[in-house]
C-alpha cells in the first residue's frame, strides 16, 4: 500500500521526534511492503520566520491533499510576543478547522513498569488506569468571538465559549462509539453549575445517549474531574468534554502516566484523514540536545496506522515494540526510574526499531 503523509516538523524538538517517527514508519514499511511518501510542510514558528504567517494557504492545501498529517510540535518563547492571529499555535487551529478535525482522541494509560515514575501515591498508582479523553476540537472558546474593548476598569479582553447542538452531539457520539468497544462507560465533563454552554452540553449529551442504551453515561463537573484524576484515576474509562476542558485535563492525565512524553493523540473528522501528534509541546529548552522522548510521536504513528490506514497489525507491532523496550528497562531522561543510563531520542528510537524486527507478544 502507498500513503502520502503531510509532515509538519514544527519547532523546538519537533524535527527530532518527527525524524524518529519517520524512521519507525520506514521500518514498518520495509517489513510489510508499504510505501510512505512524506511531504514536509512548514507551519508554526518556522513558517512565521519564513513567510510571516503561521500557516500559508499553500501549506494548508498540501495538508488537504494528504492521506493524513503527522505533526511534531509548534511554538516557543521566540514568538510569544506576537499578536494572537500570528502565534504559531494558530497553525494547529487552522489545520484542524479546514480539515474538519473535530474530535481529539487522547489515550492515557499507566504502564505497570513505569509505576514508580507516576507522581501519585503508590496505593493509587498500583491500581493503574487506562482511559481515553475525547476532546471536542473545533468549537468552544478557542474558536469563539474574541477581542478587546474599553470597560469601566480600562481595557478588557474577552473570549467567548459557544457550542451548538450539532457540535456537541457529534463529539458525544464519537465517545459513545469508543466506549462501546471498551467498558461501555462514559463520563461527560462540564461546568453546568455555572456556564450556560455547559448546560446545553449536558442536555445534548444525554439526548444522544438515548441511542446508546448499552452505554452508562454520567456527568462530572470539571473542577471535580481535575481532583478525581489525582485521587482515583482508575474510575475513568472514556471521558468526553469541551475543547478547553479537554486540553487541560488531558495534560493532567498525561503527567500521571509518568511523563507527557509518552502520550499520543489523534484528531479526526468525518473521513479517514486525521492529524496525529504527541500532546507535549516544543520544549525549546532541550531542542537539539538529543534529550527528547520520541515515544509519544511514535505511538501517534501507531494511531495513524490504525485509525486512518486500517493497518491494525502494524499498529499493534509498534505498540508492542514500545512496551517491550520499556519492559526491558530502557528509559529516556524524563521517565528515568531505575539505575540505567538514560537513552537519547535517537538511541531510544533505534531500540524500538530493533524490537520491531523481532517476533513480539504484548505483555
Is residue 219 annotated as a catalytic residue, yes or no? Answer: no
Cα–Cα distance, 275 to 49 (Å, whole number): 23
Domain-embedded: residue 16:
yes
Is residue 171's pLDDT more than 80? yes
My answer on whether 43 and 8 are in the same domain is: yes
137 Cβ contact partners less than 8 Å away, ≥ 6 residues apart: 96, 101, 102, 103, 104, 243, 246, 267
Among 67, 247, 323, 334, the active-site one is 247
Residues of 76-99 as b/e, b for ≥16 C-beta within 10 angstroms?
A: beebeeeeeeebbbbbbbbbbbeb
Choose the final residue of a domain: 195, 230, 256.
256
My answer on whether 273 and 351 are in the same domain is: yes
Report how many domains make up the chain.
2
Is residue 142 annotated as a catalytic residue, yes or no? Answer: yes
Choose the final residue of a domain: 238, 256, 274.
256
My answer on whether 234 and 153 are in the same domain is: yes
Domain-embedded: residue 199:
yes
Can you give the pLDDT at residue 115? Answer: 87
My answer on whether 343 and 236 are in the same domain is: no
Can you give the pLDDT at residue 172? Answer: 98
Among 190, 191, 237, 323, the active-site one is 191
Is residue 251 annotated as a catalytic residue, yes or no? Answer: yes
Cα–Cα distance, 356 to 351 (Å, whole number): 9
My answer on whether 127 and 74 are in the same domain is: no
My answer on whether 68 and 197 are in the same domain is: no
Cα 130 to its chain centre, rounded Å, is: 15
Q: What is the mean pLDDT of the chain?
A: 95
Choose the final residue of a domain: 201, 221, 256.
256
Main-chain phi, psi angles of 127, to 5 degrees: -75, -20
pLDDT tier at 216, thresholds 50, 70, 90: very high
Cα–Cα distance, 39 to 67 (Å, whole number): 11
For 194-199, which contacts have Cβ atoms below 8 Å and span 24 or more sequence positions? Answer: 195/161, 197/140, 197/161, 197/162, 197/163, 197/242, 198/242
pLDDT tier at 359, thresholds 50, 70, 90: low
My answer on whether 63 and 139 are in the same domain is: no
Integer CA distances (angstroms), 77 to 80, 88, 142, 281, in order: 5, 10, 20, 12
Can you give the pLDDT at residue 339? Answer: 81
Contact of 328 with 338, CB cutoff 8 Å: no
- What CATH number is associated with residue 124? 3.40.718.10
Can you give the pLDDT at residue 363? Answer: 46
My answer on whether 132 and 74 are in the same domain is: no
Dump pLDDT digits (tens) for 233-256: 999 999 999 999 999 999 899 889
Among 49, 57, 223, 285, the active-site one is 223
Can you give the pLDDT at residue 337? Answer: 83
Domain-embedded: residue 336:
yes
Domain-embedded: residue 106:
no
My answer on whether 227 and 355 are in the same domain is: no
For residue 292, the enclosing domain spans 1-100+263-363
Among 251, 290, 316, 337, the active-site one is 251
282 Cβ contact partners less than 8 Å away, ≥ 6 residues apart: 10, 11, 12, 13, 14, 45, 72, 73, 74, 75, 76
Share of the chain above pLDDT 90, in %: 88
Dump pLDDT digits (tens) for 343-356: 999 999 999 999 99
Integer CA distances (angstroms), 11 to 16, 59, 166, 191, 268, in order: 10, 16, 35, 34, 23
Dump pLDDT digits (tens) for 51-75: 999 999 999 999 999 999 999 999 9
Between 337 and 160, where is the model more confident? 160
Can you give the pLDDT at residue 344? Answer: 98
My answer on whether 146 and 83 are in the same domain is: no
Cα–Cα distance, 316 to 300 (Å, whole number): 12
My answer on whether 123 and 250 are in the same domain is: yes
Among 142, 143, 212, 355, the active-site one is 142
pLDDT tier at 105, thresholds 50, 70, 90: very high
Is residue 143's pLDDT more than 90? no
Between 305 and 119, where is the model more confident? 305
Amino acid at each position: 500500500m502507498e500513503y502520502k503523509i503531510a509532515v509538519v516538523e514544527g519547532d523546538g524538538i519537533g524535527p527530532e521526534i518527527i525524524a524518529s517517527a519517520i524512521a519507525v514508519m520506514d521500518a514498518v514499511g520495509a517489513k510489510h511492503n508499504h510505501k510512505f511518501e512524506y511531504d514536509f510542510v512548514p507551519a508554526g514558528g518556522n513558517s512565521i520566520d519564513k513567510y510571516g504567517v503561521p500557516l500559508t494557504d499553500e501549506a494548508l492545501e498540501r495538508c488537504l491533499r494528504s492521506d493524513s498529517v503527522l505533526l511534531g510540535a509548534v511554538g516557543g518563547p521566540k514568538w510569544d510576543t506576537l499578536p494572537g492571529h500570528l502565534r504559531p499555535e494558530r497553525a494547529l487551529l487552522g489545520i484542524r478547522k479546514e480539515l474538519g478535525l473535530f474530535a481529539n482522541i487522547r489515550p492515557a494509560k499507566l504502564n505497570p513498569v513505569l509505576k514508580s515514575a507516576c507522581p501519585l501515591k503508590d496505593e493509587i498508582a498500583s491500581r493503574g488506569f487506562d482511559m481515553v479523553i475525547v476532546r471536542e476540537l473545533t468549537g468552544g472558546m478557542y474558536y469563539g468571538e474574541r477581542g478587546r474593548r474599553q470597560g469601566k476598569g480600562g481595557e478588557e479582553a474577552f473570549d467567548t465559549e459557544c457550542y451548538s447542538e450539532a457540535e456537541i452531539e457529534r463529539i458525544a457520539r464519537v465517545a459513545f462509539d469508543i466506549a462501546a468497544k471498551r467498558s461501555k462507560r462514559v463520563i461527560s465533563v462540564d461546568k453546568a453549575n455555572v456556564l450556560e454552554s455547559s448546560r446545553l452540553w449536558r442536555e445534548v449529551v444525554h439526548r444522544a445517549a438515548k441511542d446508546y442504551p448499552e452505554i452508562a453515561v454520567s456527568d462530572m463537573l470539571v473542577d471535580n474531574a481535575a481532583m478525581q484524576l489525582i485521587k482515583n484515576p482508575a474510575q475513568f474509562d472514556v471521558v468526553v468534554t469541551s475543547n478547553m476542558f479537554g486540553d487541560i485535563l488531558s495534560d493532567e492525565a498525561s503527567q500521571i502516566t509518568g511523563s507527557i512524553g509518552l502520550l499520543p493523540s489523534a484528531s479526526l473528522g468525518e473521513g479517514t484523514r486525521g492529524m496525529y501528534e504527541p500532546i507535549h509541546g516544543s520544549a525549546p529548552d532541550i531542542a537539539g540536545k538529543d534529550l527528547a522522548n520520541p515515544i509519544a510521536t511514535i505511538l501517534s504513528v501507531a494511531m495513524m496506522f490504525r485509525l486512518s490506514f486500517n493497518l491494525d497489525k502494524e499498529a499493534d507491532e509498534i505498540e508492542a515494540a514500545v512496551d517491550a523496550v520499556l519492559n526491558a528497562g530502557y528509559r529516556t531522561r524524563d521517565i528515568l526510574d531505575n539505575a540505567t543510563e538514560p537513552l537519547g531520542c535517537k538511541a531510544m528510537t533505534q531500540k524500538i526499531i530493533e524490537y520491531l524486527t523481532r517476533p513480539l507478544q504484548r505483555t
